[in-house]
């Protein structure tokens, strides 16, 4: 198959960000397929333009056998109207003549949402080429805007996105969801029966460095977070837990290293400075390959979610699978309907938003022996190898795409 994958925020491993589509594309190429990824040139995670000013509006290059086509889009720095303009510009330019000039006719088009406007562009490209359209749902929109962004359900933007959601669900030959419990929400939004295939996030095991077990050493234990600094990742909970631990005496049993960038980072840095916390440090985003190297210096990882009803449909958090693959215990604050950390026996879970419970979980980890912590880490690694190897997930996606091609375009 010749596959066109439209995903605005897709990046190769040499850049910061989520490499889900790159990993799946590699798996598909190894199965003999051709894959083109259509993405934005503006880096969502660092807010940096990656395309030199000297080149045109579209670039095309081969990265490990994957054709990466990028379109220039306007910059934005926070979740304002400028970001909406960036999303709209990507969708508009994805349909333009300059992109058409570098694309070969695909056999199928997969569009990933959010942003839903990029998925709409994918559907229109599939219509243009008269090939099947497959929609991938990474997060439920507009539900995420309501729960995380604070938008009213009656806001014009929410109503527009809701209409687009229904439109795309109805026109997709097949639907893929990262969320294990999303099928009921998708069917309800579509207003008609829809078959949904669950293909969660995973780890491209070929990108992992050789495994290095955590070194048994005296306190402090190094706690790491690596990912986006946004509303979904409740880093306030982590910082409050760190403050509780630090208040118990000096020296603290823990030091916290928070790696990444995003719209909440400046506020969080100010919060840490204002509270004069000595055990919390920030570092900038790095590429996938580099972040693996940095994370190997951790004794344990932390991840916190907001206490939202949105997660009743489940979660599939890219960085969580990276944590599990690297073989360290994880403290996870969540109220989601699924919990990979608990399934793997790879750490301690507490309620979302409960900084006191998180601090207690850290104390429990500190009281464990190095062998007990290593056993948790081993559970995580085995879980990824068994259930979230990108090569295996790529086979599942191949089945969906091949079935859609056989069924014809919608």
Q: Quick: pLDDT tens for 329-344.
A: 999 999 999 999 999 9
Question: Average pLDDT, whole number, for the chain?
Answer: 91
Residue of higher predicted confidence among 45 and 197: 197
For the chain, give the percent of residues with pLDDT over 90: 73
Q: Quick: pLDDT tens for 368-403.
A: 999 999 999 999 999 999 999 999 999 999 999 999
The stretch 36-63 carries a mean pLDDT of: 84
pLDDT value of position 409: 53
Tell me the pTM. Answer: 0.90
Exposure class string for 355-380: b at 16+ Cβ within 10 A, else e: bebbbbbbeebbeeeeeebbebbbbb
């Amino acid at each position: 198959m010749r596959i066109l994958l439209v995903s605005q925020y897709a990046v190769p491993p040499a850049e910061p960000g989520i490499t889900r589509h790159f990993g799946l594309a590699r798996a598909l190429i190894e199965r003999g397929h051709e894959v083109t990824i259509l993405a934005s040139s503006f880096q969502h995670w660092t807010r940096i333009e990656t395309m030199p000013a000297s080149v045109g509006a579209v670039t095309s290059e081969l990265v490990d056998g994957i054709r990466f086509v990028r379109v220039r889009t306007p910059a934005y720095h926070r979740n304002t109207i400028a970001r909406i303009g960036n999303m709209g510009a990507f969708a508009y330019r994805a349909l333009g003549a300059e992109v058409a000039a570098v694309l070969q006719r695909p056999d199928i088009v997969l569009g990933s949402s959010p942003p839903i406007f990029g998925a709409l562009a994918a559907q229109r490209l599939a219509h243009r080429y008269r090939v099947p359209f497959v929609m991938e749902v990474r997060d439920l929109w507009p539900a995420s805007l309501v729960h995380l962004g604070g938008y009213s359900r009656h806001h014009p933007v929410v109503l527009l996105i809701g209409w687009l959601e229904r439109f795309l669900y109805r026109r997709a030959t097949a639907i893929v969801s990262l969320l294990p419990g999303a099928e009921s929400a998708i069917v309800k939004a579509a207003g008609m029966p829809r078959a949904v295939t669950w293909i969660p996030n995973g780890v491209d095991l070929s990108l992992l460095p050789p495994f290095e077990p955590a070194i048994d050493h005296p306190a402090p234990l190094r706690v790491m977070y690596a990912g986006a600094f946004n509303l979904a990742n409740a880093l306030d909970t982590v910082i409050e837990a760190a403050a509780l631990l630090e208040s118990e005496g000096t020296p603290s049993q823990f030091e916290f290293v928070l790696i990444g960038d995003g719209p909440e980072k400046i506020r969080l840095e100010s919060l840490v400075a204002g509270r004069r916390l000595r055990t919390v440090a920030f570092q900038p985003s790095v590429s996938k390959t580099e972040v693996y190297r940095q994370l190997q210096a951790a004794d344990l990882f932390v991840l916190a979610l907001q206490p939202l009803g949105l997660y009743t449909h489940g979660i599939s958090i890219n960085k969580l699978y990276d944590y599990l693959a690297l073989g360290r215990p994880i403290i996870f604050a969540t109220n989601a309907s699924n919990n990979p950390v608990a399934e793997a026996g790879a750490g301690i879970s507490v309620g979302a938003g409960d900084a006191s419970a998180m601090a207690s979980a850290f104390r429990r980890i500190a009281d464990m022996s190095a062998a007990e912590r290593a056993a948790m880490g081993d559970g995580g690694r085995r879980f990824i190898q068994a259930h979230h190897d990108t090569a295996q997930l790529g086979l599942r996606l191949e089945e969906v795409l091949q079935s859609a091609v056989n069924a014809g375009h919608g």
